[in-house]
């Protein structure tokens, strides 16, 4: 299995267009080579095309800078076969608009996410006049899905947080999920969980035997918004488990020895967006790392 990291930032990217917090200011000073696009990855078994996990608003740029995703050899042929969505958030779904010229595409998501894309954010209805042979398939936590020739994908329920446009009383539906992607030939496995409200038993189980965990790094500190902007809610109240501190995601991830941990979905306020930050050094000292744009993983 081959994995391409397409983007590593949370919604809005880093730097964010309307933010002058310290991390954003530092990134602007470093120039565009240090900037981060909104998170997504692409996976392949090497024989059956590529599958995207999430489709960010930056998807067109991400595809154009990734040689493996270039079209050809036929004039309108693409190696992109489908998209798996981890939730219904705008920063993970708006990129589907950029794929509207695709003559065929398989889109996978949980039932509440597919419903939200028909109602609160009616993306499916907007795309229908452009679609070729698109399919929209509901996934269920714990049920393996076969992709291409050799990839098995299992959905991991991670939370019930709805996007703002779908605001309603809380329910137990799997609005937020991760995926364990396994190569059936090599046994190599990747867990992708860019949004995580709390460390769950299901996530623990999914990490067993995995080579890589690419995990939610939205906020380094629980009170990060206050530290960076002087106001704002806590990370946990916004549905994101902080990295640092007792009970933080780093503490849990370190219990899985032999698994490489990479942080993604970094908010623009997160000091990890800057490689020279002290927090970045702390992460690396533990053996974990911050995912970088265009990184390649194999397993």
Give the Å distances, CA to CA, from 167 to 43, 160, 172: 32, 12, 14
Burial code (b: 16+ CB inside 10 Å, e: under 16) for 104-143 equals ebbbbbbebbbbbbeebbebbeebeeebeebeeeebeeee
The Cα 260–Cα 213 span in angstroms is 6
Q: In what helix (H) or strand (E) does residue 140 lie, and over which residues does it extend? A: none
pLDDT for position 130: 87
pLDDT for position 228: 86
Burial code (b: 16+ CB inside 10 Å, e: under 16) for 46-61 equals eeebbbbbbbbbbbee
Q: Give the HSE-up count for residue 122: Cα atoms under 13 Å, Cβ half-sphere.
A: 5
3-state secondary structure of 298: strand
Tell me which residue has tokens 């499916």. 124
Each residue's pLDDT tens digit in the chain (299 positions)?
999 999 999 999 999 999 999 999 999 999 999 999 999 999 999 888 999 999 999 999 999 999 999 999 999 899 999 999 999 999 999 999 999 999 999 999 999 999 999 999 999 999 999 878 899 999 999 999 999 889 999 999 999 999 999 977 667 889 999 999 999 999 999 999 999 999 999 999 999 999 999 999 999 999 999 998 888 899 999 999 999 999 999 999 989 989 999 999 999 999 999 999 999 999 999 999 999 999 999 99
Whether residue 248 contacts residue 242, with contact meaning beta carbons closer than 8 Å, is answered with yes
Which pairing describes strands 289-290 and 260-264: parallel, antiparallel, or unpaired?
A: parallel
For the entire predicted model, the pTM comes to 0.96
Structure tokens at 67: 């040689």
The Cα 275–Cα 188 span in angstroms is 29
Which pairing describes strands 50-53 and 80-84: parallel, antiparallel, or unpaired?
A: parallel
Domains in the chain: ranges and CATH:
2-293 (3.60.15.10)
Give the residue from 239, 116, 208, 131 showing the smallest Cα distance to 168: 116
Sheet bearing 176-183, strands edge to edge: 144-147, 151-159, 176-183, 189-193, 212-216, 260-264, 289-290
């Amino acid at each position: 299995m081959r994995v391409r990291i397409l983007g590593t930032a949370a919604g809005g990217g880093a730097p964010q267009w309307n933010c002058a917090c310290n991390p954003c200011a530092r990134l602007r000073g470093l120039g565009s080579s240090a900037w981060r696009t909104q998170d997504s990855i692409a996976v392949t078994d090497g024989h059956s095309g590529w599958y995207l996990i999430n489709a960010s608003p930056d998807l067109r740029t991400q595809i154009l800078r990734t040689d493996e995703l270039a079209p050809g050899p036929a004039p309108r042929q693409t190696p992109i076969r489908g998209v798996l969505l981890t939730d219904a958030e705008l920063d993970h779904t708006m990129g589907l608009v950029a794929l509207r010229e695709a003559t065929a595409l398989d889109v996978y998501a949980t039932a509440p996410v597919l419903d939200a894309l028909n109602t609160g954010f009616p993306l499916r209805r907007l795309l229908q006049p452009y679609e070729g042979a698109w399919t929209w398939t509901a996934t269920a936590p714990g049920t393996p899905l076969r992709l291409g020739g050799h990839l098995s994908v299992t959905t991991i329920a991670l939370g019930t947080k709805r996007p703002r446009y779908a605001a309603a009383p809380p329910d137990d539906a799997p609005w937020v999920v991760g995926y364990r992607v396994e190569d059936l030939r090599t046994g190599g496995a990747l867990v992708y969980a860019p949004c995580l409200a709390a460390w769950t038993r299901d996530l623990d189980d999914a990490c067993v035997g995995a080579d890589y965990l690419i995990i939610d790094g939205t906020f380094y500190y629980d009170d990060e918004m206050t530290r960076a902007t002087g106001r704002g809610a806590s990370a946990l109240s916004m549905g994101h488990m902080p990295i640092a501190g007792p009970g933080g995601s780093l503490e849990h991830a370190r219990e899985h020895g032999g698994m490489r941990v990479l942080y993604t979905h970094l908010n623009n306020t997160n000091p990890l967006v800057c490689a020279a930050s002290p927090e970045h050094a702390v992460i690396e000292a533990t053996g974990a790392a911050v995912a970088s744009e265009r990184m390649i993983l194999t397993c």
